[in-house]
Amino acid sequence: MSDLRLGYPFRAVIILAVVLALAVLFQVLPAGREVAWVVATGVVLVALAAVVLRTLQRNRAREQSAHVLAALGATTADLPVSLRTRMPLVLVTGDSLVQLFNRAGDEERLTHVGDGAIWLRVDNPRDLPRVAVAVKQWRDGRAPDGVVLSIAPALHAGEDVLTQALRLARQAVSDASRMLGTRLPGYIAIYQRLTATPAAAAAAAGLRWYGVSSTTRLADAHRFEAVMQAAEAQVHQTGGDPVSAARAAALASVIGWTQRVVIGPLTGRLQPATPWALFGMGWIDCGPASDPRSPWARDVRARSGIMPPPMAASPVPWPMPQPLIESMPRRLWVSPRLAALAHAIALLACAGALAIWGSAKNNQALLAHIGADLGRFSMIPAAHDTARRDALQALVADRDQIDHYARLGVPARLSFGMYRGAPLMPVLNDAIASYETPPPPPAVVTLDSMSLFDSGRAQLKPGSNRAVIGALEMIKAHPDKRILVAGYTDNVGNADGNLRLSMARAGAVRDWLVEASGIPVTQFAIQGYGDTRPIAGNDTDAGRAKNRRVEITLVPDAPKEVPLGGAQKEAPKGGATGA
């Protein structure tokens, strides 16, 4: 066991997969932070579970198969490591394993190294899955090359017992294939005495296997005809020797019995386990003692009425079925490190493809966002400057973001060859440059009340329209603006009277402007402030003259702030005044 290799770096591949998944998830994919954290937690938990489960399975298989691996190491100690990795290794289970493996007196052996294969004994078919996994680890990631099922019909009390054993072996092979991730080619070796020739003499004459082996699955029974023809040819070669003739007849009988009793439970599709793919099957005139109670002897008597004579057991060791595996299908073996490298490349390719897709989606979102900002800016009329400035700020932020990418580099979520923001820079600059600051609102037109009204009165004096012409021109130049007409007085006289007088004078100016300009009265607002907002001191004649005034102002956004014409009740004309 000291020369075991590192095997497949499962943990390293899992860690690489997790790192790539988290990097793509957080850096590229268009997912919200909450969703990303939920998915990341799930990925990490699944990875931890996979590592823990794989570690437990490997440790359990190694512990349970420690004696088998120790025997393998001892038996193959003289073989180079590369040879024991590439030399076919076959698991042998079923009947008479002691007679097959014990080749040195009473020594219990679990392994045997033959001329063309390493044979590993598995006494209980249920142990096939764990032994197969342990062997794969021992062979640096290469699974066993096949499973031989040894069947000695004379050892079974009846066909029902044999059928149950065959189903058990089939299920074990199916479980082992599933755990290994590859199929295990099957080989059937029938050990049955076919002639009554003394066993020692038969062994001295040389035991011969009759069977068929192929690199493809045995799909039909026509291939067994060649086996019987070979036995008949041997009879002709020996000049009709009675022993050869008896062996040929018995061989034909046992082949038919095998087809009816053995092949069905192993390959039939009515069984729950996966059908076992058989690549070789052979029979040999060797086996345990046979008497009329064996299943095959009873089958011969039932079909031909002839009772096979009792036959003694063959001397041990019995030959391994080496001829059956000579046509073993060769599987391409890839070292675990090379497989891990291929898996790592596949993971990188998947992560790259996912990153490219995520980057494309992010670039689509970026283009859609900037396009929406450009469309909103272009749709806002120049008169709505406040909204237009807000849209302009959004364009400036977009332009600054694109400029930041150009200077410092595109982030991963927009890169991978998918970035399309650079062509938007001239478009954004043109849109930003197209913004024109609106002209400042016109200055307030201030009219001297004494040039418009007589002292204490709110009726325009004849000829006073010349003083209002300037205000009228300003109003006509901005027909979309609302107009506020406000009246003011000095502090001479009663404050309430001054307030009513200022309101009445504002109304009089408003009425003249409506008539002269044709602008609807609803676009005007009037306000009287009396003596509450002086612009000079009221202690001198000059100061009081400045405070007696009418101001006309354009109000851009006045509907909710300034009462319009008719909304404010006008003060009655006349009353005590401060001029």
DSSP assignments along 486-551, one per residue: EEE--SSS-HHHHHHHHHHHHHHHHHHHHHHH---GGGEEEEEEETSS-SS-TTSHHHHHHHSEEE
Q: Where are the beta strands (DSSP E) in 95-222?
A: 111-113, 118-121, 146-151, 186-192, 209-213
Measured between alpha carbons, how far is residue 301 from residues 285, 297, 304, 306, 308 in Å? Answer: 19, 6, 5, 5, 8
Q: What sign does the CA torsion over 23, 24, 25, 30 have?
A: positive
Residue 527 has pLDDT above 70, yes or no: yes
CA distance 508 to 486: 11
Q: What is the average pLDDT value for the chain, to the nearest integer? A: 83
Q: What sign does the CA torsion over 386, 387, 393, 396 have?
A: negative
**Which residues, in sequence order, are bridge partners of residue 141?**
none
Q: What would the DSSP string read from start to end of 182-218?
A: S---EEEEEEE--S-S-HHHHHHH---EEEEE-SS--
Confidence of residue 559 (pLDDT cuts 50, 70, 90): very low
Q: Exposure string (b/e) for 70-80, b if CB count within 10 Å is 16 or more?
A: ebbbebbeeee
In this structure, of 53-67, 132-146, 490-504, the range with the lowest mean pLDDT score is 53-67
Predicted pLDDT of residue 7? 65
Q: Sort strands 186-192 and 146-151 into parallel, antiparallel or unpaired.
A: parallel
- Tell me which of 105 and 504 has the higher pLDDT: 504
Q: Read off the pLDDT of residues 170-226 as tens digits, 9 standing for 90 and up.
A: 999 999 999 888 889 999 999 998 887 776 656 555 688 888 888 888 876 567 887
Confidence of residue 560 (pLDDT cuts 50, 70, 90): very low
Q: Read off the pLDDT of residues 384-415 as tens digits, 9 standing for 90 and up.
A: 888 888 999 999 999 999 999 988 888 988 88
512-525 mean pLDDT: 88
Residue 529 has pLDDT above 90, yes or no: yes
Predicted pLDDT of residue 457? 86
CA distance 402 to 54: 48
Q: Which of 331, 398, 365, 402 is nearest to 145 (CA)?
A: 331
Residue 128 has pLDDT above 50, yes or no: yes
CA distance 156 to 182: 31
Predicted pLDDT of residue 126? 92
Measured between alpha carbons, how far is residue 20 from residues 17, 347, 527 in Å? Answer: 5, 8, 72
2-15 mean pLDDT: 69
Which residues are CB-neighbours of 308 under 8 A, at least 6 positions away?
Answer: 250, 290, 292, 296, 297, 300, 301
H/E run at residue 368: helix 336-379
- Tell me which of 197 and 572 has the higher pLDDT: 197
Predicted pLDDT of residue 64? 67
Predicted pLDDT of residue 249? 86
Measured between alpha carbons, how far is residue 365 from residues 34, 82, 371 in Å? Answer: 19, 56, 10
For residue 554, give both structure tokens.
């354009």
The answer to whether the peptide bond before residue 423 is cis (omega within 30 degrees of 0) is: no
